[in-house]
Structure 1
């Protein structure tokens, strides 16, 4: 059974539907009316100016028939909602699975299969969203071998270093990634706006001694810090360092907390870049708290509890969520051979869009009654 009850001078509507109860504001229902007068039937974009609706808008009638809610508002507008759609707001993304070293997954996909089959590409993107990384095997050992798969998802993000760039030791290196030294766990480019969403790291050859990659789940680190040291967690969500990169042709600056929260108070992005961080000259008490909190976070992201070690083989590629994962590498010696990787960036919006479109397209293609 379904019951509707207007409240607050008919400016709210309480609906009891299948043992669930929700309260809706009249204005919210009016601006989301699913009819062709309110929304374009092809694009779904709103045709009315919601800010011009009367603030004292009320509900004149609300009746339920055959799973549909028929309504009339005080501005004279009539509309009909599907109750199931009204109660079951679509979930854009499934939950992410956080991991430590002991529980770390190893999601893998074949390059050629993901290039040719929507199902494989969808599985790759879902794994990337769920775990924060995925390993792609069988990538052509060519300078821009990753490009065809990038083209299946979204545009390559170009930076001051160009498109797909080398990661190898060079003389007169302009960045520490171009040296043989080990790199501490970090996120890439926190000095950019927007920060690149996904890192694509393609191995051409990896015969040098050392040079193993490390990964740590920054969201898991944030969770553990919140559980074990709430004061440090709170500090890292509030204090905002700056980040800077400069060379002869480039000057990039941005800022943001080491642990950034979403509107629900959950971590949505981590930043960590010892090489480019610039902490402002805050009052000494705040700085002392920040430095202690940063050390607590650092110990988590560098500890064996959270660190996953792996070494890419030629033809393998690692795709990483740069908002979530911290990555690094051990030092390497060229006496054993050459270490040459290629790296590119793809932004979050195009990646998320491709994932959601594929998910919906594949779900619609399933025969009725069969799970996707």
Structure 2
């Protein structure tokens, strides 16, 4: 059953629909009206100037029929909302699956299949979105082996290191990733604006002793911190350190909290980069709270409760959500052989767009949605 109840001044509408309840402002409903007079039918972009709608706009009539909400506004406009779609817009996306070491997934995809088949590519992207990473097998083991699959999704993000760059031990390393040193769990490049969205790490050879990769779900770490130490959690969402990278040709700096919240107050992004973090000289009591909170978060992301260990084989590629996962590696010794990875970045907008478009296309029966 569905019930609609306008407020006394008719500038709000309460809707109860199959156990869901929402309260919607008249102006919000008017500017989001899903009709051709308000939204362009092809692009979905708004045709009316929302800032010119009367602030005292009211809902003059509201009726429900066949799971649709029929509205008439005080400016004379009429529209019809699909009730399921109206509530979908208010629902937090449930499709992300947070994990720890005990229930860590192993999402897998095949390079050739994802390259040739839209359903396989969609499966890969949905796995990446749900779990924060996916392991792709069968990647050609030459230096630009990942490039054809990158091209299926969006442009490669170029940085001061170029496009697809080496990750291996070199003399006179300009970054600690280019040494044999183990790396603590971290997110990449928090000193950039925007931060690269997805890391593509392609294994060419991995015969060195050590060099195993580690992954930890930063959103799960944030959830556990909120449950176990609410004050520490609040501190890491409030205090904003900066992050900086400099070399002879580059000077990059940005800022943001270690745990970033979305508009609903839920964790949406984590940052952690011990090598590049610069906390400002805050009042001592605030710094003390921050240092304790950071340590609590660090203990979570480095502990075995959340850490997944894996070692990539030649021809495998790890794609990681750089806003969600923290990754690291153990130290390695070249006495056993060479460890040579290639790494590139793809931004979030192109990745999300490709995933959504494929989801819609694959859900639409062939022939529907076509125009003459």
Q: Place the TM-score, normalised by the shorter chain, in its bin.
A: over 0.9
Tell me: CA distance 1:114–1:190, structure 2 relative to 1, closer, same or farther (3 Å).
same
1:261, CA displacement in angstroms? 1.2
Instruction: Say which SS state the counterpart of residue 14 (structure 1) adopts.
Output: strand
Aligned to 2:358: 358
Instruction: Say which SS state the counterpart of residue 102 (structure 2) adopts.
Output: coil
1:37, CA displacement in angstroms? 1.6
Aligned to 1:220: 220
- More displaced 10-residue stretch of structure 1: 253-262 or 7-16: 7-16
CA RMSD of aligned residues (A): 2.0
Aligned to 1:11: 11
Aligned to 2:203: 203
Instruction: Say which SS state the counterpart of residue 177 (structure 1) adopts.
Output: helix
Aligned pairs (5 A) from 1:181-260: 181-260=181-260
Tell me: CA distance 1:359–1:90, structure 2 relative to 1, closer, same or farther (3 Å).
farther
- More displaced 10-residue stretch of structure 1: 159-168 or 38-47: 38-47
Aligned to 1:151: 151
Aligned to 1:346: 346
Contact kept in structure 2, 1:166 and 1:340, CA below 8 Å: yes
| Residue ranges of structure 2 left out of the alignment (5+ in a row) | none
Tell me: CA distance 1:346–1:335, structure 2 relative to 1, closer, same or farther (3 Å).
same
Tell me: CA distance 1:257–1:67, structure 2 relative to 1, closer, same or farther (3 Å).
closer
Distance 1:21 1:330 in 2: 50
Aligned pairs (5 A) from 1:265-276: 265-276=265-276
Aligned pairs (5 A) from 1:1-372: 2-18=2-18, 20-89=20-89, 93-365=93-365
1:115-171 per-position Cα deviation (integer Å, ceiling 9, x unaligned): 111111111111111111110000000110001111111111100100000001111
1:195-221 per-position Cα deviation (integer Å, ceiling 9, x unaligned): 111100000011111111111111111
Q: Normalising by structure 1, report the TM-score.
A: 0.93
Q: Normalising by structure 2, report the TM-score.
A: 0.93
Tell me: CA distance 1:50–1:166, structure 2 relative to 1, closer, same or farther (3 Å).
same
1:305, CA displacement in angstroms? 1.5
How many residues matched? 368
Contact kept in structure 2, 1:92 and 1:356, CA below 8 Å: no
| Residue ranges of structure 1 left out of the alignment (5+ in a row) | none
1:155-188 per-position Cα deviation (integer Å, ceiling 9, x unaligned): 1110010000000111111001011111111110
1:354, CA displacement in angstroms? 0.9
